[in-house]
């Protein structure tokens, strides 16, 4: 089971203000920004920002993991008792799933979209 940390996602109350902080104050280079997502170039692991929601309150952080075998990794984690919280869905060119960490915090888990034969 191969997994790497690709993102650290911050849930923010004010996306434009958070982008300005990380870009202008801290000095991180902004890769891109949309109305509901911003991403900074920070090496192999990126900092991403998203608007807070009831399930992701402002001030909380979520790791974003990537694996080349999403189905296999999900199965292996489930076999070890991990709460696989959401079925994969295609987003941003990847299949995106979710599982819960030991204290109930969400962890995103993504993998490649299978190629169509």
Domains of the chain and any CATH numbers = 4-112 (3.10.180.10)
Note the pLDDT tens digit of each residue in 37-67.
999 999 999 999 999 999 889 999 999 999 9
Q: What is the mean pLDDT of the chain?
A: 93
What confidence category does residue 92 fall into, taking pLDDT thresholds of 50, 70 and 90? confident
Which residues, in sequence order, are bridge partners of residue 104? none
- In percent, the amount of the chain with pLDDT more than 90 equals 80
SS3 per residue for 81-107 = CCCEEEEEEEECCEEEEEEECCCCCEE
Structure tokens at 49: 């920002």
């Amino acid at each position: 089971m191969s997994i790497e940390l690709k993102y650290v996602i911050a849930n923010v109350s004010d996306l434009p203000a958070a982008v300005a902080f990380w870009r202008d104050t801290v000095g991180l280079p902004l890769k891109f920004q949309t109305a509901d997502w911003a991403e900074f170039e920070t090496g192999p692991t990126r900092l991403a920002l998203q608007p807070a929601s009831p399930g992701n309150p402002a001030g909380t952080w979520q790791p974003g993991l990537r694996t080349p075998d999403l189905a296999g990794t999900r199965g292996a984690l489930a076999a070890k008792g991990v709460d696989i919280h959401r079925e994969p869905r295609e987003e941003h060119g990847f299949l995106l799933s979710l599982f819960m960490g030991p204290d109930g915090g969400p962890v995103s888990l993504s993998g490649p979209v299978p190629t169509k034969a």
